[in-house]
Chain A
């Protein structure tokens, strides 16, 4: 499933009939804003269109405007691209973090399926020992996919589960270790300290690990995504974003500004609740689904 409907439904007609004046630019700004791009990114894009076309004799058609917007957005994404820090040997450790309910555990299930499809050996680690039945939830994913889950009891120290996860991944020569963490709001110092500790402990036995730390951002999130990424990067330096729930009506436009501001690449997108509902991020597809 793709992001349904276009944020610019109905605006195409306007462009093809009207002059490129302030009213039309304001209309464009509103459409962009409604996709959660935020004022700054919407301003940037509107200014871009103004600069590109306002000197021209002939008003641009919607197709021209759309192509230009897409190119600009793709440029913003390209700016923050970076390669995966995958180790030559030993387990590839990915730590997954984010606020409550965004889709961390589900994304781990989907990522596991994705790596299994590449014939990798995948191990899961249940370092959310806090939320009710969080361990069971990950175990169900493990059972579904046939991968083992390293876990402790509910209420155990999450850092020690993560530590055991790394140890087990090394001992079993796993290719990939996916570490699930509890959802936490980024303004809670204690929980953020806990995350810093989890991260530290992961590196104890495997100095390079975690090789990747991904923050999961829910596509319905508004401007708070900026605060989330900012705060999480401070305790657990981030190397990528996973955007979930892009199968809904929310466009997830906030991630354009977020990737651009923090120079963080989007790694994957979630487009459903099943194991197969994960896609590698393609900036052109994302821009397509927006415009």
Chain B
């Protein structure tokens, strides 16, 4: 899954073979290979540009140190090492910092609102997070079916609730704002300490439905609003994430379907443009296939960091 990016690095490595310094010219060549890799990985155009610029600038700075510092004969630290190191640092910088904690309320139920485009995995992830909170955090969650549009959406959530032994609230024929408000009251009756609102998928240009989300937010004041994004997403990820964030001030992102072979460049782009942390990763359709975000994990998964580290060890042996 990481071959495109790592092949970029490999190509970059070949470019440096036998050369003793990082010159403007070979840096340019290597970065153009990496640029291509990132673009093929669906990293947004602008984000890629910024990244390449940063790496170029840093690498050029390194050239001076290299020339002045290290003796030319001392081959263990190759220019390629330096170059890869710079890329690695920059990529890590883009993915972090880590903040996979949810915000918990005191003296009242904690609430989590799930939002996103159609079919990204909101309902499934709602079930997964509830299961995680129940089993790992020893909380007492309830699910709220606030999608009244998709055929059998409430039924889908009910099935998931049953599977994990968590109650599901829904009012047939009622509008989503009212359903969510009523659910808040129900939480006390059911003695639940966490409420998860599963909302319908929607397009960011659908003003009516976006307003509905804003209304749910203002009437329930959720402690967490999680944007659910599909790892296979292309360049539009940035537009989408920005629009949801501008309207709702999301607290974080869940990337789903990372069990596929998508490069997942969208994760990088979304992180970069919203500045919001990635909280969880969806790793499968089953309800236990949820992972808390770890930058090493995602970076190595998406960007080929594992391979890069491998490559660096290669360089040591050169």
Contact = CB atoms under 8 A, between A and B. Distances in A.
Interface in A21-50: 30, 33-36, 38-39
Interface in A131-154: 131-133, 136-137, 139-141, 144, 154
B203 A247 contact: yes
A1 B96 CA distance: 38
A223 B263 contact: yes
B151 A224 contact: no
Nearest to B266: A222
Contacts of B174: none
A38 B236 CA distance: 13
Contacts of A248: 117, 203-205, 236
Contact of A222 (B118, B120, B265): B265
B203 A101 contact: no
Interface of A: prevailing SS = loop
B284 to A, nearest CB: 9
Contacts of A99: 232, 257, 260
Given A36-B234, A38-B40, A224-B261, A245 B151 contact: no
A273 B149 contact: yes
Nearest to A130: B285
B260 A186 contact: yes
Contacts of A160: none
Contact of A249 (B42, B151, B204, B230): B204
B259 interface: yes
A222 B232 contact: yes
Q: Which of B158, B262, B265 neighbours the largest number of chain A CB atoms within 10 Å of its CB?
A: B262
Interface in B119-176: 119-121, 123, 149-153, 155-160, 163
A132 B257 CA distance: 17
B151 A137 contact: yes
Interface in B247-282: 257, 259-263, 265-266
B157 to A, nearest CB: 8
A243 B129 CA distance: 31
A4 B173 CA distance: 32
A187 interface: yes
Interface in A189-221: 218, 220-221
Contacts of A224: 42, 232, 260-263
Interface string A244-257: 01011111001000
Contacts of B230: 101, 218, 220
Contacts, number: 135
Interface string B13-49: 0000000000000000000000010011110010000
B260 A30 contact: no
A223 B42 contact: yes
B266 A102 contact: no
A221 B260 contact: no
A185 interface: yes
B227 to A, nearest CB: 14
B27 to A, nearest CB: 19
B261 A33 contact: no
B149 A132 contact: no
Given A222-B42, A222-B233, A136 B155 contact: yes
Contact of A36 (B119, B235, B259, B263): B235
Given A38-B40, A224-B232, 6 more contacts: A99-B232, A102-B119, A103-B119, A133-B155, A187-B261, A249-B203
Interface of B: 1, 36, 39-42, 45, 117-121, 123, 149-153, 155-160, 163, 203-205, 230, 232-237, 239-240, 257, 259-263, 265-266, 285
20 contacts: A30-B45, A38-B40, A39-B40, A100-B285, A103-B118, A109-B151, A132-B159, A136-B156, A186-B261, A220-B117, A221-B234, A222-B262, A224-B42, A224-B261, A225-B232, A245-B203, A248-B203, A248-B205, A249-B239, A249-B240
Interface of A: 4, 30, 33-36, 38-39, 99-103, 109, 130-133, 136-137, 139-141, 144, 154, 185-188, 218, 220-225, 227, 245, 247-251, 254, 273
